[in-house]
Structure 1
C-alpha cells in the first residue's frame, strides 16, 4: 500500500509540474525580442496622432482611464468587478507612472496579448479579449496619440482583489482556459462596409464586453455572443443584440440605427444607463461612414429568438392599483395610453425596453431616473426624475406590472422583491 501511495504521489506531482509548465508556456508565447522592446518611439506625424485620437474615441478609453474630475487618461479610476476592484492605469507618457518608457511593440503586446511592459498578465477588465482583433497599425496610431499627451505623474492604486484572483497563477489559468490572441479576418462574402462594421463592433468598440453573458469566472461565453447579459458589478442589463424582443435592429432602417448610435435617440428607441455614457463619450464622435458600417453589421446579426412561454396576466387588483399610480405619476409625460410624446418622452406602449424578461433596467430607471445623453444631434434631452424616495417598493412593482401589461404590452409582473433587490444593489 505504501509503495502504491508513493507511485500515486509521484504521478500527481508530475502532472502538477506538467500543468504548471504548460501554463507558463502558454503565457510566454508573446515574448518580445530585445530590439523591439527597447526601440525608441519615432516622431509621429500629425495625421497619425489624429487617427489615434479618433480610435481612442471609438474605444471609449477615457471613460475607464480618467477619474471623475481628474486629468484625462491619467488613470486611477476603480473598475468594479465581481472579484474586487481593478484600478485603470495611467496612459499619459509619464516615465515613472505612465507609458513614457513603453515601446510601440510593448503597447501592441498589451492590446493584442494582454501583457504589461514588465511581463505581468493584465486583468481582463481591460478588454483585451476584444482588443486582440485590432490591427497593429491601429494600435500604433493609438500609441502615437497617447504619447502626444502631456505627462501626468499619477500612480494608480494597487488592485484590490480577493484571493486567488489577485495572483498571476490564477490569471494564467484563466487565460489558458478562455483566451487566445486573435486576428480579425475579413469575410470575402460580405461588403467592405460590413467588414468595417464587424471590425469596429468586435474589436475596438468591444460591444460584446457588455452584450454577451459571462460565465462564473467572468469570461465571455463564446456560445452566446451578443445574447445579452447583466453588466458585472454595474447591475444594468445589456440587452441581446440578436433578439427581436430585446435590442435587435434587423428590421430597422439603417438611418434609424445610425441616429440611435450618434444621438442616443431615434424614431425607434432611446438609450439610457451605461449605453448613454457610451454614446456621450464615444459614439457621437464617430464618422457617419463608421456609424453606418456598424449599423450594417448589427442589422445582419442572425436572430436567436426562442418561443416565449405563456405569460399570466397580473391580477385585476394589481393592475387597478398600478393604473392609479400611473395616472398620478406618469401619464402627464408618457400619455394616458402610453403613447409618449415624440421628441420628448418615449412611448411605453410597444416598447421593448418595457417588456424585457429581465426587469433590472426598468426598475433602475424608476428608482434613479432616466436620462438620455446630451449630444450634438440631441443637445437638450428630456429626462425622467427618480422615484426612489416618493414611491414604496410595492407601489413601484404595481405600476411597472401595469405598464408591462397595458396597451397591448404582455410581460410577466414585477414583484416587490425585484424592486427591493435592485434598490439594495444600488444602495438606495
Structure 2
C-alpha cells in the first residue's frame, strides 16, 4: 500500500474517531411538567418577551417578510447562510417539533432530524438558556402565524458544508452548559450575566473570531465578518467599557439608543430597536450592573509621530471639518447631545480601529427609532463629497483634536471600508 494511501486512511480514521466523540456531545434537561410549554397566556407572554430579549426576529425575518418565516441571508467568510422558517407550519417550519426538539436546538445545536446546526445560529450562547425559558419560548413560537415557506439551503464552500467538519468544529469549540449563577454575586448581577452572556448573545458580535469562525470568548471586541463594522470591546475603557459610566446612562443607551455619553449606530442600532428597547427596567438595570462589573483595561494613548506631512493632513482635516461638520458638532467638538453627539472624548472616534468612524462619515446613519427617541437625528453620508484622502484627513483631525489622541487614518483604510455592505 502506498504511503499516501496509508496517511489518507489514518486521517479518515482519526476524523471518524473524532466524530464518534463529538457527535454525542449533548445534554438533556427534562421539562418541569407539560404545563411549562402549554399555550397559557402567562407562558405565551413570557415567551414573547424572551424572543425579544434573544432578538430572534432579527435573523429569522427577511426584510419585508412575514415574522419568523426565515429567508434572511447572512454572508459569512465560509459562504452564504439563510435563516430557516421557525413558524409553526408543520411542513416547512417547526410545527412538528416537540418542546424537547426545541430545547435540543437551543441547548445542543441539533435539529429535530439529527443534523448538527451551524453556529451562525448562536447556540454557543443559547446553550446557557434554562429549560424553563426554552419551554416558554416554544409556547410562544407555537402561537406565531404559520407560514408555508420552505427554508432555503445554505451555500457554503467545501469542507464547511460537511457535517463531519461541523462535528470536528464542535469538538474543538462547543460544550453545552446551562447558565450557573455565581453564588458570590447578587441576584441582579446573575440576571445581567444570564442576559448578556446567554439569551442576549452579546459575544456573538463583541468577540473576535479565529479563522474557523470560533469566538475567542469574553467581550473583548472584534470586527464583524463581511459587514465590516467593529463591535467594540466591552472590557476596555478605550472602546466601549462601561465601568466608569453611571448605571442610569447605560440603561438609557440600551433602551433608547442615545445617552449623554454615546449614541448607537450601525448593527447595534438594530439590536436596540428590535430587542433591547423592549426589555424591562429591572432587566436593563441588571445588564448595566453586569457590564459595569467586567474587568476594564486602562486607556493607553498611542505615540503620534508629528511631522510636516502629518501637520498638513491635520490642517486639511480642520478645513473640511469647518466646512461640513462644525454646524452640528461645534468648534469645540462638544456637539449638542444627544441629538448631535460630542466628538471630543468620543470613543467611537478614538478607538484603535477606525472602522466605525469611517463608516459613519462615509455612509452616515441614524440612531434607532425607539419609544424613548422616536425621531432620531441622523448623520448624512459624505462618501459622495469626500474622496479617500480627504476623508482620511478629516478623520485624522477628529482623532487628534479637543484632547483626542489616536493614530492617523490612512486613505487605504477609508477605501476599504467606505462601501456599504449588502444585506
Under a length normalisation based on structure 2, what TM-score does the superposition of the two structures give?
0.94
CA displacement 1:106-159 (0-9 Å, x = unmatched): 110000000111001101000000000000110010011000112100012110
Candidates 211, 221, 241, aligned match of 1:216: 211
**C-alpha displacement at 1:215, in angstroms?**
0.5
Candidates 195, 198, 202, aligned match of 2:197: 202
Structure 2 match to 1:310: 303
Structure 2 match to 1:71: 66
Deviates more, 1:387-396 or 1:277-286: 387-396
In 1, distance between residues paired with 2:247 and 2:35?
Answer: 45
Matches within 5 A, 1:240-251: 240-251=233-244
Instruction: Tell me, yes or no, if the aligned pair for 1:24 and 1:172 is still in contact at 8 Å.
Output: no
- Note closer, same or farther for the CA distance 1:410–1:149 as it changes in structure 2 (3 Å cut): same
1:422 maps onto 2:420 in alignment: no
**C-alpha displacement at 1:234, in angstroms?**
1.4
Task: Flag structure 1 segments of 5+ consecutive residues without an equivalent.
Answer: none
- Note closer, same or farther for the CA distance 1:41–1:304 as it changes in structure 2 (3 Å cut): closer
Matches within 5 A, 1:83-122: 83-122=78-117
Candidates 373, 376, 383, aligned match of 1:381: 376
Structure 1 match to 2:390: 395
In 2, distance between residues paired with 1:40 and 1:47?
Answer: 11
Deviates more, 1:290-299 or 1:261-270: 261-270
Structure 2 match to 1:150: 145
CA displacement 1:317-361 (0-9 Å, x = unmatched): 111111111000000000011110123200101111110100110
1:175 maps onto 2:170 in alignment: yes
**C-alpha displacement at 1:17, in angstroms?**
2.2
CA displacement 1:70-125 (0-9 Å, x = unmatched): 00000011011111111101111001100110000011000000011100110100
- Note closer, same or farther for the CA distance 1:405–1:41 as it changes in structure 2 (3 Å cut): closer
- Note closer, same or farther for the CA distance 1:57–1:168 as it changes in structure 2 (3 Å cut): same
Instruction: Tell me, yes or no, if the aligned pair for 1:85 and 1:160 is still in contact at 8 Å.
Output: yes
Structure 1 match to 2:291: 298
Instruction: Tell me, yes or no, if the aligned pair for 1:312 and 1:412 is still in contact at 8 Å.
Output: no
Structure 1 match to 2:20: 24
RMSD value over aligned CA atoms?
Answer: 2.2
Task: Flag structure 2 segments of 5+ consecutive residues without an equivalent.
Answer: none
Matches within 5 A, 1:404-423: 404-423=399-418
Instruction: Tell me, yes or no, if the aligned pair for 1:242 and 1:302 is still in contact at 8 Å.
Output: yes
- Note closer, same or farther for the CA distance 1:173–1:394 as it changes in structure 2 (3 Å cut): same
Instruction: Tell me, yes or no, if the aligned pair for 1:55 and 1:138 is still in contact at 8 Å.
Output: yes
Candidates 279, 298, 314, aligned match of 2:272: 279
- Note closer, same or farther for the CA distance 1:18–1:422 as it changes in structure 2 (3 Å cut): closer
Give the SS at the match of 1:190: coil
**C-alpha displacement at 1:368, in angstroms?**
0.8
**C-alpha displacement at 1:200, in angstroms?**
0.4
CA displacement 1:181-211 (0-9 Å, x = unmatched): 1121111111000000000000010000100
- Note closer, same or farther for the CA distance 1:251–1:245 as it changes in structure 2 (3 Å cut): same
Give the SS at the match of 1:148: coil
Structure 2 match to 1:140: 135
Give the SS at the match of 2:142: helix
1:343 maps onto 2:338 in alignment: yes
Give the SS at the match of 2:75: strand
- Note closer, same or farther for the CA distance 1:172–1:418 as it changes in structure 2 (3 Å cut): same
Give the SS at the match of 2:199: coil
In 2, distance between residues paired with 1:42 and 1:330?
Answer: 54
In 2, distance between residues paired with 1:119 and 1:136?
Answer: 20
In 1, distance between residues paired with 2:356 and 2:221?
Answer: 13
In 1, distance between residues paired with 2:305 and 2:164?
Answer: 49
Instruction: Tell me, yes or no, if the aligned pair for 2:237 and 2:299 is still in contact at 8 Å.
Output: no
In 2, distance between residues paired with 1:178 and 1:101?
Answer: 30
**C-alpha displacement at 1:44, in angstroms?**
1.6
